[in-house]
């Protein structure tokens, strides 16, 4: 009691108190300095270590304790890891063609002693860099935070329940479950393993995976090299095989990898010290290319960077043209004209608008359960022609339940059981009916023949189910195994009733078990008298006086996608000197390994008969019958082994000569939204393929139910992986179409499918969740990993991660990809058309020569900058926010090869840009020649007297206002590239469509309101923009703007027949 009060005063939490969902208690650790535990953890038994760290081997830490430790020790991240570099973003803002042109313009302005213009350009450089920096930095931070949603996760035991958390929230003392494909989240002391092998090449340089044990080393082995501490796993290493459970002994910089990072911090260490650095010229070139943004970023970003430098070259050419017209008599006014012309061709805001649009797109996709890991995926999604999807949990709900159990026997004596399905698939309740008699099965008095099959389902299984204190049923393990475990528990033959081997700590959610069990040789809970005074954990108390169960697990061989089976070996206390070997897996694989069956399981469950070909065909026919009902069929078998042969037995020796016990039919209902999503994909010209590990007939039934195939689909539409893999590449290419369904699919089959699609010019997406799926995910143009059931290795190889594992999320991602692609085309078209118009205006403007023989520019350099940055950029970003048109998913995918710069976009750029320049040029001509008798004054390009240049200044104001209004209304016109602004959606008033995009709406209104500032503010208008106030010229502005809008409407009519060869046809609704 004294100890309890002392702890309560110190921690503020009462001992033996529970949180709302926990069955554990909070106790003080024996060793409060957790950082010292890691050094000798390999020499400490798990029970002692759990006491030192204040944790429970079965229940883990309480939520309150986790919060305290996270506050004290911080997040489980290395210093400087994963953040966005502000310096890199700033350098990226400075290293672009825009800044180079503006710097040159600033230098030239100061050189000709036009300090006002030079200062304005300098201010524009600072403003553009500052705004661009904050925009891009915020966008990068947004995308980085979204990517972290798919960063390595960890499965931990907390409050007695397994839960998946971000790896950065792991704390010392956590109980962590790891399985094949996981990245180890922290340094662990293993407490149980099953055929666990870990690749430690990153840490030790050892190329081969290291087999792990739980054996405690002696104290004299304290200084063992880290590679020889076989009972430890280290942060950032990768599990290549098996599964295990461990106590976290070190996080963040207190891990082995953290200590190495700390030791080398500040040193410029190459990733591969043996790698040749290359010649100096090559390294210099790569450095410059990276600095210029031509080596980093997505393909589209690199393409736009190249465009920017191409336009920079064009700017130089335009400046040369200006100098040539002036016969290279480069006066101050000629230099200023060259500056204006060079600036006009650069779309200053293009990269910033692209970055912001992509950031908003990734945020929207995250809201739809799609995490973008690589921005390239945003560019590729819109061009996807084929979607290759898993079935379980993606097309289906993943809430499996056993609907049928067929006990194999002679045809007249076989037993078929049907289980009622509960709304909660995890609740082991509901009646089981025997179809032979129609009676409800008496679970307390099962026939031995039925019990044998049910025991195989329960014991060849590492899944667990349990009810928490809230009354909710929770599970760990593969969904198929969970369904079998629930069914066995319904019949009172669940795993806990048969064996005392605890799988709760061993079974990681989402993955089957792996390999031979290596027993945890942990020390007794209390090793000496002083331990008697310690507080006992609940799991220690529960273990006292437990009664041994009938079966004891001795070995376990994993399920794998190649073998498609799993085997376990148990000692049976009711059968001395005999070990029970159980197997489950694909029906044909189990039958291949079986040599006998039980002819009469009800009357003579212990008598077997040879499994003849005729009987085998009967069993296969029954499997086909059940599979045709859309059930996943699992074969079950067993045999007895002499106990003396179990030690060290190989998988090859175990998996033969089984007795076939029966079939389990598991139903996994399709998601309600799957049919609609598949239909939407078909209407969008996207072919949906289902690649599943299920039986062929099951796969066909599910594919038909979700309309991937029709009942009259040709034989080549549905294949097994064996049939597909037997075909040569030439034979695959000769198929009319790639198969829509591949059953019993292996990871290698997915790779062949991607290659076959590429040879046909298809742009495919591939989904996967396992370690072996990573080659296909990397190879596919769009690799999609499952966020719930996927391994860390698969997520790392993918472009997208689905947080809900739902096929409809893939459909949403493709829709969003198409929307982004179309919007990127819209704002690129908008920005480049404006540049074309300005260039035309200024180049033709060279013909306007004043009485001094100097060309008079129709728009000043500062006016060009204002238009490009303040007038054009906001509407361009508004176009990036435009919603998808209603018929977007009724068009075929765009060409991934052409990208955003398709011929229609290129032609549109010149079509709109030339008319924009022509109308603005006409405005200048009307004001000068119709309103002022062609008076161009003298010296009006550079700080001239207002009176002599009034006509030119009024003409510039007219051009500036006309260009501004045309740019703003042009943005509205681009809400549709094909339909009239006044009929964007038939039957809907156009003002409602305009109102729908608030960002674009207020960008247009704001731009219109700002046009008066450079025209009517004295000093600002005449000394900076070389303009002045206007009156009757507003009529010219309205006329020029109206002509341009009418041209836009006419151009949309002209482009339809002109672009017929490039325009995809609308796909008719089904």
Rounded alpha-carbon distances, angstroms, from residue 591 to 496, 612, 745: 28, 11, 19
Task: Give the span between the Cα atoms of 789 and 807, in whole angstroms.
Answer: 14
Tell the burial category of 547 from Cβ atoms under 10 Å away from its Cβ (0-12, 13-18, 19+). exposed
Task: Give the span between the Cα atoms of 308 and 345, in whole angstroms.
Answer: 10
Which letter does DSSP use for residue 869 in this model?
A: I
Token pair, residue 593, equals 């390994």
Contact of 675 with 707, CB cutoff 8 Å:
yes
Length of the chain: 1070
Which letter does DSSP use for residue 1060 in this model?
A: T
Rounded alpha-carbon distances, angstroms, from residue 323 to 333, 342, 591, 809: 11, 12, 87, 57
Task: Give the span between the Cα atoms of 314 and 771, in whole angstroms.
Answer: 50
Contact of 416 with 439, CB cutoff 8 Å:
no
The alpha-helical segments, DSSP class H, found in 658-766 are 674-683, 696-705, 721-726, 729-734, 747-759
Q: What is the 3-state secondary structure (H, E, C) of 198-253?
A: EECHHHHCCCCCEECCCCCCCHHHCCCCHHHCCCEECCCCEEEEEEEEEEEEECHH
Decide: helix, strand or coil at residue 545: coil
Task: Give the span between the Cα atoms of 433 and 77, in whole angstroms.
Answer: 54
Q: Is the dihedral of CA 371, 372, 378, 381 positive or negative?
A: negative
Cβ-count burial 648-659 (b if 16+ within 10 Å, e if not) = ebeeeebbeebb
Rounded alpha-carbon distances, angstroms, from residue 325 to 104, 165, 335: 20, 68, 12
Rounded alpha-carbon distances, angstroms, from residue 32 to 45, 59, 75, 251, 1020: 18, 20, 18, 15, 69
Rounded alpha-carbon distances, angstroms, from residue 718 to 248, 504, 722, 907: 47, 39, 12, 44
Token pair, residue 634, equals 């699992």
Token pair, residue 75, equals 């997040």
Is 390 considered catalytic here? yes
Q: What share of the chain is helix, strand, coil (3-state, %, to 5)?
A: 45, 15, 40
Tell the burial category of 1046 from Cβ atoms under 10 Å away from its Cβ (0-12, 13-18, 19+). exposed
Contact of 667 with 631, CB cutoff 8 Å:
yes
Contact of 51 with 523, CB cutoff 8 Å:
no
List phi, psi (to 5°) of 638. -155, 165
Phi-psi region of 689 (alpha: psi -120 to 50; beta: other; left: phi over 0): beta
Task: Give the span between the Cα atoms of 166 and 986, in whole angstroms.
Answer: 48
Q: Which residues contact 456 (CB under 8 A, 6 or more apart)?
A: 582, 583, 584, 636, 637, 638, 661
Neighbours of 325 (CB within 10 A): 16
Per annotation, catalytic residue among 52, 174, 187, 390: 390
Cα within 13 Å of Cα(240), Cβ side = 12
The residues annotated as belonging to the active site are 390
């Amino acid at each position: 009691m004294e100890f309890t009060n002392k702890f309560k005063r110190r921690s503020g939490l009462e001992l033996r108190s529970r949180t709302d969902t926990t069955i554990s208690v909070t106790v003080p650790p024996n060793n409060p300095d957790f950082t010292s535990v890691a050094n000798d953890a390999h020499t400490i038994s798990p029970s002692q270590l759990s006491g030192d760290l204040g944790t429970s081997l079965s229940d883990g830490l309480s939520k309150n304790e986790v919060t305290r430790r996270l506050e004290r020790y911080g997040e489980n991240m290395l210093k400087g890891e994963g953040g966005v570099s502000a310096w890199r973003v700033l350098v990226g803002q400075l290293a672009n063609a825009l800044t180079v042109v503006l710097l040159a313009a600033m230098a030239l302005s100061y050189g000709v002693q036009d300090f006002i213009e030079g200062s304005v350009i300098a201010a524009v450089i600072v403003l553009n860099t500052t705004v661009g920096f904050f925009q891009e930095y915020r966008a990068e931070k947004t995308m980085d935070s979204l990517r972290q949603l798919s960063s390595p996760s960890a499965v931990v035991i907390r409050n007695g329940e397994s839960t998946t958390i971000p790896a950065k929230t792991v704390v010392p003392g956590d109980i962590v479950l790891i399985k094949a494909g996981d990245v180890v989240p922290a340094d662990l002391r293993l407490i149980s393993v099953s055929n666990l092998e870990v690749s430690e090449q990153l840490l030790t340089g050892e190329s081969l995976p290291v087999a792990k044990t739980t054996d405690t080393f002696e104290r004299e082995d304290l200084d063992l090299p880290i590679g020889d501490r076989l009972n430890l796993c280290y942060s950032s290493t990768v599990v290549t095989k098996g599964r295990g459970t461990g106590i976290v002994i070190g996080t963040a910089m207190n891990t082995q990898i953290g200590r190495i990072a700390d030791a080398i911090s500040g040193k410029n260490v190459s990733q591969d010290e043996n790698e040749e650095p290359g010649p100096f010229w090559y390294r210099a070139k790569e450095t410059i290319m990276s600095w210029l943004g031509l080596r980093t970023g997505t393909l589209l970003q690199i393409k736009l960077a190249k465009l920017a430098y191409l336009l920079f070259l064009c700017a130089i050419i335009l400046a040369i043209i200006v100098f040539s017209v002036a016969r290279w008599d480069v006066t101050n006014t000629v230099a200023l004209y060259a500056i204006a012309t060079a600036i006009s061709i650069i779309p200053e805001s293009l990269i910033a608008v692209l970055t912001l649009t992509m950031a908003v797109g990734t945020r929207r996709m995250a809201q739809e359960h799609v995490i973008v890991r690589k921005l390239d995926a945003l560019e590729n999604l819109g061009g996807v022609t084929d979607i290759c999807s898993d079935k379980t949990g993606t097309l289906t709900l993943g809430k499996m339940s056993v609907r049928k159990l067929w006990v194999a026997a002679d045809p007249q004596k076989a037993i078929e059981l049907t289980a009622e399905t509960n709304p909660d698939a995890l609740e082991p309740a509901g009646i089981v009916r025997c179809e032979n008699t129609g009676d409800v099965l008496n679970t307390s008095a099962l026939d031995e023949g039925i019990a044998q099959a049910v025991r195989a389902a329960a014991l060849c299984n590492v899944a667990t189910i349990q009810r928490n204190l809230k009354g909710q049923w929770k599970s760990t393990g593969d969904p198929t195994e969970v369904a079998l475990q629930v069914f066995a528990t319904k019949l009172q033959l669940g795993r806990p009733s048969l064996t005392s081997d605890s799988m709760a700590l061993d079974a990681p959610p989402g993955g089957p078990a792996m390999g031979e069990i290596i027993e945890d040789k942990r020390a007794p809970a209390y090793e000496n008298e002083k331990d008697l005074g310690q507080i006992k954990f609940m799991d220690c108390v529960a273990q006292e006086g437990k009664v041994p169960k009938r079966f004891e697990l001795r070995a376990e061989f994993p399920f794998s996608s190649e073998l498609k089976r799993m085997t376990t070996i148990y000692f049976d206390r009711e059968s001395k000197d005999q070990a029970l070997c159980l197997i489950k897996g694909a029906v044909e694989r189990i039958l291949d390994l079986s040599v006998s069956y039980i002819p009469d399981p009800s009357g003579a469950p212990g008598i077997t008969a040879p499994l003849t070909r005729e009987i085998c065909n009967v069993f296969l026919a029954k499997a086909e019958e059940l599979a045709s009902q859309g059930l996943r069929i699992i074969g079950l078998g067993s045999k007895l082994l002499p106990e003396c042969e179990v030690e060290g037995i190989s998988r090859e020796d175990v998996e033969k000569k089984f007795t076939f016990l029966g079939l389990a039919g598991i139903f996994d209902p399709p998601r309600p939204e799957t049919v609609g999503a598949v239909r939407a994909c078909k209407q969008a010209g996207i072919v949906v393929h289902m690649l599943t590990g299920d039986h062929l007939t099951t796969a066909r039934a599910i594919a038909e139910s979700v309309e991937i195939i029709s009942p009259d689909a040709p034989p080549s539409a549905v294949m097994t992986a064996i049939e597909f893999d037997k075909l040569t590449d030439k034979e695959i290419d000769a198929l009319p179409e790639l198969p829509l369904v591949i059953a019993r699919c292996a990871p290698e089959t997915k790779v062949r499918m991607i290659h076959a699609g590429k040879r046909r010019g298809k742009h495919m997406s591939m989904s996967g969740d396992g370690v072996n799926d990573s080659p296909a995910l990397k190879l596919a143009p769009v690799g999609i990993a499952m966020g719930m059931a996927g391994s860390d290795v698969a997520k790392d190889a993918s472009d997208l991660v689905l947080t809900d594992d739902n096929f409809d999320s893939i459909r949403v991602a493709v829709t969003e990809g198409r929307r982004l692609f179309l919007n990127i085309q819209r704002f690129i078209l908008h920005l480049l058309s404006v540049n074309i118009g300005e260039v035309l205006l200024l180049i033709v403007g060279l013909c306007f020569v004043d009485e001094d023989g100097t060309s008079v520019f129709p728009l000043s350099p500062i006016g060009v900058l204002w238009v490009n940055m303040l007038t054009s950029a906001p509407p361009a970003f508004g176009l990036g926010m435009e919603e998808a048109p209603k018929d977007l998913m009724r068009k075929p995918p765009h060409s991934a090869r052409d990208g955003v710069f398709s011929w229609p976009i290129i032609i549109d750029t010149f079509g709109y840009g030339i008319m924009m320049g022509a109308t603005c040029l006409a405005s200048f001509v009307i004001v000068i020649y119709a309103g002022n008798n062609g008076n161009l004054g003298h010296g009006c390009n550079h700080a001239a007297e207002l009176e002599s240049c009034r006509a030119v200044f009024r003409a510039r104001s007219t051009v500036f206002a006309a260009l501004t209004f045309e740019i703003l209304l042009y943005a509205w016109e681009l809400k549709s590239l094909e339909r009239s602004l006044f009929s964007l959606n038939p039957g809907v008033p156009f003002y409602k469509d305009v109102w729908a995009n608030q960002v674009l709406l207020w960008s247009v209104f704001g731009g219109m309101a700002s046009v008066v500032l450079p025209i009517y503010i004295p000093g600002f208008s005449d000394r900076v923009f070389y303009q002045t106030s206007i009156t009757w010229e507003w009529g010219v502005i309205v006329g020029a703007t109206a002509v341009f809008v009418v041209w836009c409407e006419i151009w949309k009519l002209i482009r339809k027949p002109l672009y017929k060869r490039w325009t995809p046809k609308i796909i008719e609704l089904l």
